[in-house]
Amino acid sequence: MAFVQPLIFTVLTVAAFSMAGLRFKRIYENIRMGQPEPVKGSLRNMILLALGQKKMFRNLIPALLHLAVYTAFLLTQVELLEIFLDGFTGRHRLIYYAVQDSAFGKGLYIAIISGIEVLSLLAFAATLAFLARRNLLKVLRFVKSEMNGWPRLDGNIILYLEIVLIAAIFTMNGADEALHRAEGKGSYGFLLSGNAVWLLFSGFSPETLAVLERVGWWFHILVVFSFLNYLPFSKHLHIMLAFPNAYFTRVSGNGQMRNMPEIQREIQSMLDPSALSGEALPPPDQFGAKDVQDLSWKQLLDAYACTECGRCTAACPANQTGKKLSPRKIMMDTRDRMEELSLNRQKHGPDHQDGKALLGDYISTEELRACTTCNACVQECPVSINPLSIILELRRHLILDQSSAPESWTQMFTHVENNGAPWQFAQSDRDKWISQTEA
Amino acid sequence: MANPTLTRVPTMAEMAASGEQPEILFWVGCAGSFDQRAQKVTGALVRILNQVGIKFAVLGQEELCTGDPARRAGNEFLFQMMAAQNIATLEGYGVKKIVTACPHCFNTLKNEYPVLGGNYTVLHHTSLIQDLLDSGRLSVEGGLFKGKRITFHDSCYLGRANDIYEAPRAAMAALDAELVEMRSCKSRGMCCGAGGAQMFKEAEPGKEEVNHARTAEALDVKPDYVAVACPFCNTMMSDGVKYADRQDDVRVRDIAELVAEAAGLFG
């Protein structure tokens, strides 16, 4: 019967990776719905922002809590390697027994597992703190209206899963340590399970311990598989997409709006018809963005990379003063609309029009109009998401396609066009200040 | 009595007519040209430029809105129209270097005109003032503002859009005043509420005006002066101070005004 566990493990592994793979493929295709946008690859940005969490440290306490969970997660991947090897071969602690005769190898193994244990304990404390911040302290950015329902539950589910995962790790190592000792082999030497955690298991019989170790081991890997398949449906996808999102950096700075060459050409030909030679380009179907496929692939990647932390919304002057705008909601709406559109296209064919759009059905004019373009949301995002660029493309559509502007903006446009200034002053009075200054 | 050499404002057209080329173009901007409050900042910068003997000129009636508020509102056609006309004017005069007291003009000229064919070295006036003070070309007497509490309100289009946080602070350091920072400052600085063409419309429904909230943050640090570096921030913060009924003891001043005054240029 020794083959049963490896067989189940192999089947589960293939199933988990296949299911997750299909889902990741869908996300990739959804991002590819977007328009081209030039980007540059920046390893530096990826190392500083994603790997190094540089911007998280704008808020020290959440940064430290997050760092505990993040480093525990990273280091656990090493242990996961052994779990996979054990799973496929049906062996137990394959790497440990392979290296146990080498003082260096064994020392390194013990150090890594001990490191995982210490970080897991810190991550456990951090997870409790996160749960408290979301549910007891109700930190403002976690209880904004766009977090009602699924987003709030999603945030909590991840935290509960983390607790199960950490409990499984300590059950696995603690029971294994107790068993190891009961079998007269002494201690593995892991820092926490070897010195404290195993005592919790010391009263059990070797048979029970063997079962407990298996329970911990299987729970661990099952949580990993669940997590892998839950991730792409969750805001937690950021643990993967933060990396490409930080790597692909925008070519233009925060102060620069995307140029619209089609309009630039139009104006050039108006002002100087002789300047443009050659073919006249057909006018585009529409201007700015109305729906998700009008946005750039980078803007769509941004939406999937968002973990709904709300640092953008907390920093937004419009949101702070009670306006409807929330930059986080802009990102959530973009992602949710992508999901809806791709689901509808899957059901009804790739050319299906569902009669809905990001602008109007998800994001209202009132939200867009509240933006002061101050870049605070862009500045605060730990993973280089730019909600402002989406707001501005939607604003373009409102004005250029729907001629929808508040009356005072229409007047401002008229003044700029006729008087060269946003107010109703005559252009001939523009230099009046000179005589006043010189007088 | 104003010193006529301090307040002289040559135009590009005059210079071109006499075959001269200024060292730098002073882009005044719509607010600096038309808004009475901002005109004083324009006057302060003119005095500074004349004091240090920088050969400058303005476009006068040939200057047009850069198109920033139109573009941020979503009206790309109008922006492109303004940009094309301004670039034609600037190219016509062979302009290479520009200084402006408006962060919105600064950002548009510096970051958004190059792709349309307008490439210039663009300075915000706070950077120029910092250079002048650092190089000793401009010197100020500390006495006037000694012991006064000054807090600087960062402009979004200087700070987050262009990473200029130190120049205005360095310029103020010369005043020998007590510089105090607000709760949110530099890259965390809260917007005054005017950007993104908000200046030209009523705010959307909410519980508070942005400029009132920002002014409250400024008043929290008990300043004698709220220093600004943008004509729109100036309006917003001045209105905020009036709303809080503190206009008698808290003054809103542009960096150029503070420095020109400390340098005795208003004689």
Distance in angstroms (rounded) separating the CA atoms of residues B30 and B21: 24
Model confidence at A399: pLDDT above 60 = yes
Terminus-to-terminus CA distance in chain B, angstroms? Answer: 7
Distance in angstroms (rounded) separating the CA atoms of residues B256 and A20: 60
Q: What is the mean pLDDT of residues A378-386?
A: 97
Spell out which residues of chain B touch residue A271, defining contact as CB-CB under 8 Å.
Answer: 81, 84-85, 88
A39-41/A248-250 β-pairing:
antiparallel
Q: Which amino acid is at B55?
A: K
Spell out which residues of chain A touch residue B256, defining contact as CB-CB under 8 Å.
Answer: none
Q: What is the mean pLDDT of residues B251-265?
A: 96
pLDDT for the residue A274: 77
Q: What is the mean pLDDT of residues A49-69?
A: 95
**B43 in Cβ contact with B264 (< 8 Å):** no
Is A376 in contact with B156 (Cβ distance < 8 A)?
A: yes
Task: Kindly state the helix (H) or strand (E) to which residue A336 belongs, with its residue range.
Answer: helix A327-348
Model confidence at A232: pLDDT above 50 = yes
Nearest Cα residue in chain A from B117: A264
Q: Which of B218, B260, B6 is nearest to B125 (CA)?
A: B260
Of B81, B115, B195, the CB nearest to A259: B115
Burial of residue A39 (CB within 10 Å: 0-12, 13-18, 19+) is: middle
Q: What is the mean pLDDT of residues B113-132?
A: 98
Is B205 in contact with A366 (Cβ distance < 8 A)?
A: yes
Distance in angstroms (rounded) separating the CA atoms of residues A306 and A124: 23
Per-residue CA distances from B119 to A38, A199, A312, B96, B109 (Å): 21, 73, 33, 8, 8
Q: Does B179 touch chain A (CB under 8 A)?
A: no
Q: What is the ipTM, given to two decimal places?
A: 0.96
Query: For all residues of chain A together, what is the average pLDDT?
Result: 95
Q: Which of A191, A183, A235, A233 is nearest to A213 (CA)?
A: A183
| B140-262 placed in CATH 3.30.450.40 | no
Nearest Cα residue in chain A from B29: A421
Q: Which amino acid is at A235?
A: K
What percent of chain A stands above pLDDT 70? 98
Based on C-alpha coordinates, what's the Rg of chain B?
Answer: 18
Is A257 in contact with B213 (Cβ distance < 8 A)?
A: no
**B77 in Cβ contact with A284 (< 8 Å):** no
Distance in angstroms (rounded) separating the CA atoms of residues A436 and B15: 20
The tokens describing B65, both together, are: 């809105």
Angle at A76 between CA A70 and CA A82, to 5 degrees: 165
Distance in angstroms (rounded) separating the CA atoms of residues A117 and B139: 62
Q: Which of A329, A324, A412, A346 is nearest to A33 (CA)?
A: A346
Which B residues in the span 34-93 are in contact with A, Cβ-Cβ below 8 Å?
34, 39, 42-43, 46, 58, 60-61, 63-65, 67, 69-78, 80-82, 84-85, 88
Q: Which of B63, B230, B185 is nearest to A379 (CA)?
A: B185
If one looks up domain B12-130 in CATH, what number appears? 3.40.50.1860
E-state strands within A235-314: 248-250
Q: Which of A298, A359, A146 is nearest to B74 (CA)?
A: A359
Distance in angstroms (rounded) separating the CA atoms of residues B267 and B263: 9
Model confidence at A154: pLDDT above 70 = yes
Going by pLDDT thresholds of 50, 70 and 90, the confidence category of residue B1 is very low
**B56 in Cβ contact with B22 (< 8 Å):** yes
Cβ atoms within 10 Å of A42's Cβ, excluding its own: 15
Listed by start position, the domains of chain B span 12-130, 140-262
Nearest Cα residue in chain B from A434: B9
**A206 in Cβ contact with A182 (< 8 Å):** yes
Distance in angstroms (rounded) separating the CA atoms of residues B168 and B171: 5
Task: Kindly state the helix (H) or strand (E) to which residue B234 belongs, with its residue range.
Answer: helix B231-243
pLDDT for the residue A271: 84
Distance in angstroms (rounded) separating the CA atoms of residues A324 and B55: 49
Of A254, A376, A416, the CB nearest to B65: A416
Cβ atoms within 10 Å of B82's Cβ, excluding its own: 24
Q: Which amino acid is at B133?
A: L
Q: What is the mean pLDDT of residues A332-336?
A: 98
Model confidence at A280: pLDDT above 70 = no
Q: What is the mean pLDDT of residues A210-220?
A: 94
Which B residues in the span 113-142 are in contact with A, Cβ-Cβ below 8 Å?
115-116
Model confidence at A80: pLDDT above 70 = yes
Q: Which of B89, B84, B74, B90 is nearest to A412 (CA)?
A: B74
**B204 in Cβ contact with A395 (< 8 Å):** no
What percent of chain B stands above pLDDT 70? 99
Decide if B12-130 and B140-262 have a common fold.
Answer: yes
Interface test with A, best of B15, B37, B80 (most A CBs within 10 A): B80
Is B61 in contact with A376 (Cβ distance < 8 A)?
A: no
Q: Which amino acid is at A13?
A: T
Is B76 in contact with A268 (Cβ distance < 8 A)?
A: no
Helices (H) and strands (E) in chain A, counts: 18, 2
Is A375 in contact with B156 (Cβ distance < 8 A)?
A: yes
Is B60 in contact with A423 (Cβ distance < 8 A)?
A: no
Nearest Cα residue in chain B from A255: B161
DSSP B212: H
pLDDT for the residue A273: 77
Express each pLDDT in B32-41 by its tens digit.
999 999 999 9
Express each pLDDT in A95-110 by its tens digit.
999 999 999 999 999 9
Spell out which residues of chain B touch residue A311, defining contact as CB-CB under 8 Å.
Answer: none
Going by pLDDT thresholds of 50, 70 and 90, the confidence category of residue B141 is confident
Going by pLDDT thresholds of 50, 70 and 90, the confidence category of residue B2 is low
Which B residues in the span 203-262 are in contact with A, Cβ-Cβ below 8 Å?
203-210, 213-214
Helix axes B231-243, B36-52, angle to 10 degrees: 130
Is A406 in contact with B214 (Cβ distance < 8 A)?
A: no
Distance in angstroms (rounded) separating the CA atoms of residues A412 and A425: 11
State residue A247 phi and psi, 5-degree precision.
Answer: -70, -50
What residue has token string 């139009």? A266
Nearest Cα residue in chain B from A263: B77
Nearest Cα residue in chain A from B193: A372
Q: Does B195 touch chain A (CB under 8 A)?
A: yes
Interface test with B, best of A393, A433, A435 (most B CBs within 10 A): A433
Distance in angstroms (rounded) separating the CA atoms of residues A177 and A165: 18
Which of helix, strand or coil describes residue B95? coil
Long-range contacts of A350-359 (CB under 8 A, 24+ apart): A356/A291, A357/A290, A357/A291, A358/A289, A358/A290, A358/A291, A358/A292, A358/A295, A358/A333, A358/A334, A358/A394, A359/A289, A359/A290, A359/A291, A359/A394, A359/A397, A359/A398
pLDDT for the residue A279: 63
Model confidence at A276: pLDDT above 90 = no
pLDDT for the residue A270: 87
Nearest Cα residue in chain A from B78: A417
Q: Does B183 touch chain A (CB under 8 A)?
A: no
Is B75 in contact with A413 (Cβ distance < 8 A)?
A: yes
Distance in angstroms (rounded) separating the CA atoms of residues B106 and B129: 15
Distance in angstroms (rounded) separating the CA atoms of residues A170 and A149: 32
Spell out which residues of chain B touch residue A425, defining contact as CB-CB under 8 Å.
Answer: 34
Going by pLDDT thresholds of 50, 70 and 90, the confidence category of residue A3 is confident
Express each pLDDT in B166-220 by its tens digit.
999 999 999 999 999 999 999 999 999 999 999 999 999 999 999 999 999 999 9
B251-254/B225-228 β-pairing:
parallel
Half-sphere exposure of A230 (CA within 13 A, CB side): 17
Q: Which amino acid is at B116?
A: L
E-state strands within B69-113: 97-100
* Domains recognised in chain A with CATH numbers: 31-245 (no CATH), 286-419 (1.10.1060)
Angle at A328 between CA A150 and CA A322, to 5 degrees: 100
